[in-house]
Amino acid sequence: MGLTVSSRANMIGWLQAAPLALVLGGFLVVPVIMIVVVSFWGATEWSIYPAFLFDNYEFLFTSWVTYSVFLKTFKYAFITWVLTLCIGFTVAYFLAFHVRNLSWQIALFLLCTIPFWTSNIIRMISWIPFLGRNGIANQTLISWGVIDEPMEWLLFSDFSVILAFVHLYTLFMVVPIFNSMMRIDRSLLEAAVDGGASGLQTLWNVVIPLCKPGIMIGTIFVVTLVMGDFITVRFMSGSQSANVGRLISNDIGLLLYPSACATAVVLLCTVLIVIAIFLRLVDIRKEL
Amino acid sequence: MSSWAQTKDLVKMQSDLELVHLTKRYDVALAVDAISHRFKPGGYACLLGPSGCGKTSTLRMIAGHETVTEGAVILQGRDISLMPPARRGTAMMFQNYALFPHLNIVDNVAFSLKMRGISRTERHAKAAEILRLVDMEKYRDRFPNQLSGGQQQRVALARALITRPQVLLLDEPLSALDPFLRIRMRAEMKKLQTELGISFIHVTHSQEEALALADEIIVMNDAKIEQAGSAQEVFNAPKTEFVARFLGGHNVIEVPAGRVAIRRDAMRLVSQSDALIQAQIIAVEYQGIHVLLTAKLLGGQEVTILLSDRDFFASPSQPGEAVGLSWDQTAVHSLSA
């Protein structure tokens, strides 16, 4: 009797886990396995054929293009991370600690999410008329007499790429940090003041340590999004700059699927290693 | 320990806390209404009252976590009401202890020393000394969530004491503990206060706690001080109906001269001819040491009479029985409101 009850409970447990397992298996695990398999295939100018070759990886690791592109990808990720962290932390701090009224907090928080009602690409492209050679920014600065000639580096440059990244992804930093901050017991801040901490000391010794899990979750979001991106880099750099995502997308455009897969595998491993390092630094489990 | 003894002597002479017309207004609501009180130096004072009576606001104004709308807080002759909390010479222990969850016990206790830029070894040594005082030095490397409620409370006490305050402010310090631990911890706190000789001001809504701990009870109601005095004074001779009812143990009855409070155990059952007032017993409840009688006076007022079991069983009465009640005139306390 006891056995049947427990095996039945077991059965129910499996059934409950099945839908998510099927979705993840079908849409995540199987495609990743496919990518890994295809990354060992061979390709000619007009066809791809099943094989077990290391040619793709060999080409990848012996080409200086790979290293420079990876370096560029890390550079984008790092600069975007620093900026989104600074802006995101400040916004979250303002929302959590300076806006005392809950309904205002909710209203301002929703305001932050409104840009997300439009597509990524539209938000990106809308920078072009603003930043262009004869765009609003340059014309305004010229009319104010701040500059004499239009600034070329505003658009189709690393500046515009990072600007777009920051614009697109800051909210991914704001949300988890805000969430961490809202969980901080306000009496902890009073206890810090009671112990003689100044505003900055409270920030450094109490608020930031308690926000670490939120900062880490935001960091994972931003870093993975930036490292996996290709469209922002293409549009905002005017195809003058490349990151790993663009490398993959170019290979796909040339129907070089095995090569694209090999690059994808290397990128996936890189991102996983980066995340593994992050998780070693901060325990985010208590936040989930 | 020697430095503690020195501080103790110093403090005993000087810690003199006074509230002068202290007022707190939130928009239109009046939380504390121009209260004035001089605390006994080096004593254990309890601010007692129901929730919303202004006792926590008063404490927070003394601590500096709430701005003072009007009036002043004077410690050792200087007005501290505009100073930041850490410079006042007070320290606060928070209701839920507010220990920093990301710091271990010794760092929690040493927090205020770190803020002052004291070196790590020195502040850890000082923290260890205070932790020894509250008998928690063996948990120095634990984190707050690895401690029980009572242990967290001791750490919170240690953290508040490390700044060597002249006045320690405690906001409902026992409310987060279970009843058994509450009784144990309150004995420890009283002991600690006696040892250190500094003033403790303890906010509570439990009259039992206040009576057990306080040298001085300040009963608050409706943003005002109803009565202040020693525990015995306040319990024994309530001045207002609120105090009589809130501290319990009293019957409040209407007599021709006005309202009076008479202790439940000061009432006696007597023969009808000797009685000051006639009554009818409605209920009899045996409580072991005592017998609790509920009786209805002729006017319809209900009173409670507490008799020792020996007195009661010497001449037991039944519900429904008509009896006479008497008391000594010295037991009668006329009430002002």
> CA of B137 to nearest chain A CA: how many angstroms apart?
20
Residue B257: what pLDDT? 78
In A, which residues are within 8 Å of B176 by CB distance?
none
Single pTM value for the model: 0.82
A113 at B interface, C-beta within 8 A: no
Tell me whether A209 touches chain B (CB under 8 Å): yes
A205 interfaces chain B, CB cutoff of 8 Å: yes
Q: What is the pLDDT of residue B334?
A: 87
**Token pair 């039944």 in the structure block, residue:** B318
Q: Taking residues A215-238, what's their average pLDDT?
A: 92
- Assess B115–A contact: CB distance below 8 Å, yes or no: yes
The tens digit of pLDDT for each residue in B110-143 reads: 999 999 999 999 999 999 999 998 889 999 999 9
Instruction: Collapse the DSSP code of B316 into the 3-class scheme (helix H, G, I; strand E, B; otherwise coil) and give the result.
Output: coil
Chain B residues in contact with A188 (beta carbon < 8 A): 98, 100
> What is the reported pLDDT for B129?
92
Residue A191 and residue B94: Cβ atoms within 8 Å?
A: yes
Q: DSSP string covering chain A, please?
A: -HHHHHHHHHHHHHHHHHHHHHHHIIIIIHHHHHHHHHTT-EE-SS-EE-----HHHHHHHH-HHHHHHHHHHHHHHHHHHHHHHHHHHHHHHIIIII---HHHHHHHHHHHHGGGGS-HHHHHHTTHHHHSTTSHHHHHHHHHTS-SS--GGGSSSHHHHHHHHHHHHHHHHHHHHHHHHHTS-HHHHHHHHHTT--HHHHIIIIIHHHHHHHHHHHHHHHHHHHHH--HHHHHHTTT----HHHHHHHHHHTT-HHHHHHHHHHHHHHHHHHHHHHHHH---GGG-
Higher pLDDT, A260 or B7: A260
User: Looking at the partner chain, which of A188, A201, A210 has a beta carbon nearest the beta carbon of B115?
Assistant: A201
Cβ of B86 within 8 Å of Cβ of A210? The answer is: no
In Å, what is the CA distance from B5 to each residue of A53, A103, A206?
A: 81, 52, 33
Distance from the B96 Cα atom to the nearest Cα atom in chain A, whole angstroms: 8
Contact B114 A210 (CB under 8 A): no
Measure in Å the smallest separation between the Cα of B260 and chain A Cα atoms.
Answer: 43
Residue to substitute from B66, B115, B172, interface A, most A β-carbons within 10 A: B115
Contact with chain A for residue B65, Cβ under 8 A: yes
Per-residue pLDDT of chain B (337 residues; tens, 9 = 90+): 445 545 545 444 456 899 999 999 998 889 999 999 999 988 999 999 999 899 999 999 999 999 999 999 999 888 999 999 989 999 999 988 999 999 999 999 999 999 999 999 999 999 999 999 888 999 999 999 999 988 999 999 999 999 889 999 999 999 888 889 899 999 999 999 998 889 999 999 999 999 999 999 999 999 999 999 999 999 999 999 999 999 988 999 888 878 889 999 998 888 888 888 888 899 999 988 889 999 988 878 889 999 988 888 888 888 888 888 888 888 888 888 6
A209–B98 C-beta distance less than 8 A: no
* Beta carbons within 10 angstroms of residue A215's beta carbon: 21
A172-199: per-residue pLDDT in tens?
A: 999 999 999 999 999 999 999 999 999 9
Cβ count near B8 (within 10 Å): 14
**For B115, nearest residue in chain A (alpha carbons):** A197
Closest partner residue to B112 (CB to CB) among A187, A196, A206 is A196
CA distance A78 to B27: 48
**A286 interfacial to chain B (CB closer than 8 Å):** no
State the complex-level ipTM. Answer: 0.81
Q: Chain A contact for B117, CB < 8 A?
A: no
pLDDT at A288: 55
Q: Determine whether the interchain pair B102/A193 forms a contact, defined as Cβ–Cβ distance below 8 Å.
A: no
- Domains of chain A, by residue range, sit at 63-287
Partner B contacted by A191 (CB < 8 A): yes
What residues of chain B lie within 8 A of the CB of A197, using their CB? Answer: 86, 111-112, 115
Q: Is B216 helix (H, G, I), strand (E, B) or coil?
A: strand
Confirm or reject contact between A190 and chain B (CB < 8 A): yes
Task: Write out the two tokens for B161.
Answer: 């004491």
Residues A194, B91: C-beta atoms closer than 8 Å: yes
Determine which of A194, A216, A287 to mutate to test the interface with B (most B C-beta atoms within 10 Å).
A194
Minimal Cβ distance to A210: which of B95, B102, B163:
B102
Residue A46 scores a pLDDT above 50: yes
Q: Which of B94, B101, B116 shows the shortest C-beta gap to A190?
A: B94
Write out pLDDT tens, residues B235-251. 999 999 999 999 988 99
Q: Measured between CB atoms, does A206 come within 8 Å of chain B?
A: yes
CB contact under 8 A, A185 and B98: yes
β-strand pairing of B258-263 with B17-26: unpaired
Answer yes or no: are the C-beta atoms of B220 and B296 closer than 8 Å: no
Chain A residues closer than 8 Å to B98 by CB:
185, 187-188, 190-191
* B84–chain A Cβ distance below 8 A for any pair: yes
Cβ contact B129:B158 at 8 Å: no
Q: Do B159 and A195 touch (CB under 8 A)?
A: yes
B31 at interface of A, judged by CB pairs closer than 8 A = no
Distance from CA of A206 to the nearest CA of B (A): 7
Per DSSP bridges, beta strands B167-171 and B199-204 are: parallel
May I ask the CATH architecture of the domain A63-287? Orthogonal Bundle (1.10)
The per-residue DSSP string of B84-133 comes to -GGGTTEEEE-TT----TTS-HHHHHTHHHHHTT--HHHHHHHHHHHHHH
The overall average pLDDT reported for chain A is 90
For residue B2, the model assigns a pLDDT of 45
For chain A, how many residues are written? Answer: 288
